[in-house]
Amino acid sequence: MLPLLAGLGLAGATFSGAQAQPTATAKTVAGRPATMPLLQPWSGPHGGIPPFDKVKVADFKPALEAAMAENMAEINAIASNPAAPTFENTIAAMERSGGTLDRVGTVYGIWGTSLNDAKFATVQAEMAPKMAAFSDQITQNAALFKRIEAVYNSMAASNLTAEQQRLTEVRYKAFVRAGAKLDAPAKARLSQINQQLAGLFNNFAQNVLADESDLTLVLKTEQEMSGLPTSLRDGAKAAADSRKVAAAGVITNTRSSVDPFLTYSDQRPLREKAWRMFTNRGDNGGAHDNNANITQILQLRAERAKLLGYKTHAHLRLDNTMAKTPEAAMELMEQVWTPAVARVHEEVADMQALAIKEGAPADFKIEPWDYAYYAEKVRKERYDLDQNEVKQYLQLEKMREGMFWMAGELFNFSFAPVTDVPVFHPDVRVWQVNDKTTGKQVGLWYFDPYARPGKKSGAWMNAYRNQERMDGKDITTIVSNNSNFVKGKPGEPVLISWSDATTLFHEFGHALHGLSSNVTYPGLAGTSVVRDYVEFPSQVLENWLPTPEVLNRFALHYQTGKPIPQALVDRINKASTFNEGFATTEFLASALIDMKLHLAGDQKIDPDKFERETLAQLGMPSELVMRHRTPQFNHVFASDGYSAGYYSYLWSVVLAADAFSAFTEGSGAYDKAVGERLRQNVFTVGNTVDPAAGYRAFRGRDPKIDALMKQRGFPMTSTAAATPAPTPMANETQELKDTKTKVKIKKGKRK
Amino acid (1-letter code) at residue 98 = G
Give the pairing type, strands 441-450 and 477-485. parallel
Q: Provide the sign of the torsion angle of the four alpha carbons 288, 291, 295, 300, taken in this order.
A: positive
Residues 98/71, Cβ–Cβ less than 8 Å:
yes
**To 10 degrees, what angle do helices 648-664 and 691-699 make?**
20
Tell me how far apart the alpha carbons of residues 17 and 462 are, in angstroms, rounded to a whole number: 6
Residues 422/52, Cβ–Cβ less than 8 Å:
yes
In sequence order, which residues have a C-beta less than 8 Å from that of residue 660 and are 6 or more positions away? 540, 543, 669, 736
| Dihedral angle over CA of 714, 719, 720, 724, nearest 10 | 180
| Dihedral angle over CA of 695, 698, 703, 705, nearest 10 | -120
Amino acid (1-letter code) at residue 361 = P
For every residue of 40-64, DSSP letters joined together read SPP-SSTT----GGG--HHHHHHHH
Amino acid (1-letter code) at residue 258 = V
Tell me how far apart the alpha carbons of residues 136 and 179 are, in angstroms, rounded to a whole number: 9
What is the biggest distance separating any 2 CA atoms in the chain, rounded to whole angstroms? Answer: 84
Residues 478/458, Cβ–Cβ less than 8 Å:
no
Tell me how far apart the alpha carbons of residues 106 and 112 are, in angstroms, rounded to a whole number: 10
Single out the residue of 564, 526, 527, 531 nearest to residue 545, CA to CA. 564
* Helices and strands of the chain, counted as H and E runs: 29, 9
Write out the H or E segment, with its range, that includes residue 432: strand 429-435
For every residue of 328-391, DSSP letters joined together read HHHHHHHHHHHHHHHHHHHHHHHHHHHHHHTT--TT----GGGHHHHHHHHHHHHH---HHHHH
Single out the residue of 639, 662, 654, 750 nearest to residue 710, CA to CA. 654
Angle at 393 between CA 418 and CA 217, to 5 degrees: 85
Buried-exposed string 461-486: b where 16+ CB fall within 10 A, e elsewhere: bbbbbbbbebeeeebbbbbbbbbbbb
Single out the residue of 99, 100, 122, 98 nearest to residue 111, CA to CA. 122
Backbone angles phi, psi at 654, to 5 degrees: -65, -45
Residues recognised as catalytic: 507
In sequence order, which residues have a C-beta less than 8 Å from that of residue 567 and are 6 or more positions away? none
N- to C-terminal Cα distance for the chain? Answer: 23
DSSP conformation class of 468: B
Single out the residue of 520, 672, 458, 457 nearest to residue 162, CA to CA. 520
